[in-house]
Structure 1
Amino acid sequence: MLGALILIDMQEGFDDPFWGTRNNPDAEANAARLLTHWRAQSAPVFHIQHLSTTPGSPLNPDGGLVALKSMVSPRDGEPVLTKDVNSAFIGTDLEKTLRKQGIEKVTICGLTTPHCVSTSTRMAANLGFDVTLVHDACAAFTGNADLSWREGPAVTADEIHIAALDQLNGEFAKVVATDQVLA
């Protein structure tokens, strides 16, 4: 069974320079490939949309950049669940809907790897779902991290991405590439 595809926060607001340098410019294209595959199989798809409550955030509805990106936009009948925290399971009916549909396996991709993708992946696993995380359909940013707590240089977006994936693989998810999922 293919299970459900969960696309997390693939939104226009992440094109804003506010987030800093980004890795993996092909994340959305890979997510679109996954979405096409799920649709061809008539398998369940869930779109998650972050609506920030932080004034000035590119993902705050007042900023106008909350729309899902066109290459992964939902079709009629595909649910769009909105949230204002990192987890796709908090404040939404995602878990209830998955359970009602008898779905035990989820495949996750989206933005950003160390934040909403990581939190949602961890929570999905903690809730008992079999989780696959598609690393090349996710991306990270250097962001606006407060590094005042430590010495040393800032890390790159790719290092942030890899570190987040390293922590998730094995314990919370099986981390794979898009081509592995589609094979």
Structure 2
Amino acid sequence: MTRALIVIDVQESFRARPLWETTSDLKIADQVNRLVRLSRQAGDLVVWVLHSEPGAGDVFDPALGHVRLMEELERADGEPLIHKTSHNAFTTTNLQQLLTARGIRELTVCGIRTEQCVETTTRVASDLGYQVTFVIDATATNPIPHRDAPADQSVADLLADPRTLPAEEVIRRTEYALAGRFATISTIDQLEAAAGLQA
């Protein structure tokens, strides 16, 4: 085993936010399940990552009960579950030590949000020397408000603001930024085909 799937922040915290209805893929857990099954069949390690902000008083505060895997996901016995407090999955965790101990040099990444925690983890992983595959259709994100938009902007106002960057554009820009620099971009279909699981 020299490869691991890192599932980043596919957690109930996001469903507890009003912004959830704007998510690019409301069935992101189904996509992640496909990727998890593929990784397990290949004998890869699956590592689950949750974002946690103790004491924050919001949906990422473990005390409120939302910092848990989305209910559709099933973590198998022995698969590591780590909690991070930074955008990337390395800085505030033992992820690198865990991977090094198992001789893992190749990572497949997926999760929420495409351009934030998943992309940041990908960039750090690349800098640490890992070969990274970014599975673009196993990530999800939301529209991004303009920097001058009010912090308390409603979802309706976010969507109505012409300066808002749509989720589809966020994903497209992430793909362009990572490809050939920090990661290989792939889809689940492409990975399944490479594994001989599709006609």
- Give RMSD over aligned pairs: 2.0
2:153 aligns with: none
2:180 to 170, 173, 177: 170
Report the alpha carbon displacement of residue 2 of structure 1 after superposing the two structures with TM. Answer: 6.7
Give the distance between the partners of 1:100 and 1:2, measured in 2 at CA: 11
User: Mapping of 1:46-61 within 5 angstroms?
Assistant: 46-53=47-54, 55-61=56-62
1:156 aligns with: 166
Spell out, residue by residue over 1:19-64, the C-alpha distance to the aligned partner (whole angstroms, 9 max, x if none). 3521123322111011112222332110001112462431211222
Give the distance between the partners of 1:141 and 1:104, measured in 2 at CA: 31
Give the distance between the partners of 1:73 and 1:16, measured in 2 at CA: 20
Q: Which has the higher contact order (CA 8 A, sep 6+)?
A: 1
Is there any run of 5+ residues in structure 1 with no aligned partner, and where?
A: none
Is there any run of 5+ residues in structure 2 with no aligned partner, and where?
A: 150-160, 194-199
Report the alpha carbon displacement of residue 166 of structure 1 after superposing the two structures with TM. Answer: 1.6
* Partner amino acid, structure 2, of 1:148: D
More deviation, 110-119/59-68: 59-68
Identical residues among aligned pairs (%) = 33
Report the alpha carbon displacement of residue 153 of structure 1 after superposing the two structures with TM. Answer: 1.4
1:135 aligns with: 136
Assess if the C-alpha contact under 8 Å between 1:18 and 1:58 holds in 2: no
Give the distance between the partners of 2:73 and 2:35, measured in 1 at CA: 10
Q: TM-score with structure 2 length normalisation?
A: 0.83
**Mapped pair 1:19 → 2:29:** no
Q: TM-score with structure 1 length normalisation?
A: 0.90
* Partner amino acid, structure 2, of 1:168: L
Which aligned segments of 4 or more residues in structure 1 are displaced greater than 6 angstroms?
Answer: none
Give the distance between the partners of 1:97 and 1:89, measured in 2 at CA: 10
More deviation, 50-59/79-88: 50-59
